[in-house]
Amino acid sequence: MEIAIAAAIGLVVAIVIGLILGNVLAKNKVEKQSRDAQSKASLIIKEAEIQAETIKKDKVLEAKEKLLKMKQEFEEEANRKKNQIISNEQKIKQRESQLSKEFETLKRKESEVDEERQSLATQHDLVKKRKEELDKFNAQKVAILEGISKLTADQARDQLVESMKEEAQTKASSFIKDIMEQAKLSATKEAKKIVIETIQRTATEHAVENCVSVFNIESDDIKGKVIGREGRNIRALEAATGVEFIVDDTPEAIIISGFDPVRREIARLSLHRLVQDGRIHPARIEKLLRRPARTSKTRLLRSENAP
């Protein structure tokens, strides 16, 4: 029994000692953690202080750069405004100088106008005096004329009006006569113009019938021979006959145009002979038509009917 109690006491003592040792160890551990935490905190504080100092230096440097930039911009703006003020001052001075010149010119013109006004006033007084003298002279002249003609001024005026009326009537009659003659001439010209336009409009078909001949051909291949290389044959024909040869899309026909019917007939018969002969070239055309004075319609007709 005593042994059990002693064992229990020993166990209790061991537990107490274990608790005390555990407490001491835990306290030491806590103290060590506290010291480590304080050391870490001190390190963090130092790093934070270093970083804050770096940031402070950066901010100070940035602030200095910004301040320098602002100062430079301010100086540039100040210089720009200063230059603008100088330019405006120069413009104002130029404007003042121009206004001064204009004012002097205006003042000089005003003085000239005053002089002209005074001169005009003097001339007006002189003209007024001359008018009065002229009126007196006219009155004296009228009195002398009335004494010579034994007519009053009103009677003389009436006679003058009557003579002017007669002269005006004579001139008016002559003017009316001229107008009538001009109107007749204009009417004659206009009538002739209307007649010519009417003839031109209504006689087109008749003129075409009397100015055009048609030469019939067997085949359109002959048109190429009549035209010739680069148009040499047709140019030779037109130059020799004095008429125009129209070779167009009209089937199996060549149109001969000209006002002279004899020339048209000579050209038609010459072309007929050339087509029958088959030799169509400038030398042949010139040989056929080189003696127009001796060539006639009768001779061509004879040659056409010859075998």
- What is the CATH number for 245? 3.30.1370.10
Helices within the chain (DSSP H only): 2-149, 153-202, 204-211, 221-227, 232-241, 261-277, 282-289, 297-305
Q: Which residues of the chain have pLDDT under 70?
A: 1-2, 142, 145-147, 149-157, 159-160, 192, 195-210, 291-307
Domain that holds residue 159: 151-202
Same domain, 236 and 292: yes
Overall domain count for the chain: 3
Q: Are residues 162 and 146 in the same domain?
A: no
Q: Residue 29: phi, psi to the nearest 5?
A: -65, -45
pLDDT of amino acid 152: 66
Predicted local confidence at residue 61, as pLDDT: 86
Residue 46 is assigned to a structural domain of this protein = no
Give the C-alpha separation, 67 to 59, whole Å.
12
Degrees (nearest 5) of the Cα angle 263, 268, 272? Answer: 145
What is the per-residue pLDDT for 195? 67
> How far are the Cα atoms of 74, 80, 101, 244 from residue 87, in angstroms, in the given order?
19, 10, 21, 84
| Number of neighbours of residue 264 by Cβ within 10 angstroms | 22
Residue found under tokens 């206004």: 99
- If asked whether residues 83 and 157 sit together in one domain, one would say no
Q: Residue 36: what pLDDT?
A: 81
Sheet holding 253-257, edge to edge: 212-216, 253-257, 244-246
pLDDT of residue 206: 47
Q: Within this chain, do residues 188 and 258 fall inside the same structural domain, yes or no?
A: no
Tell which of 127, 150, 173 closes a domain.
150
Same domain, 224 and 296: yes
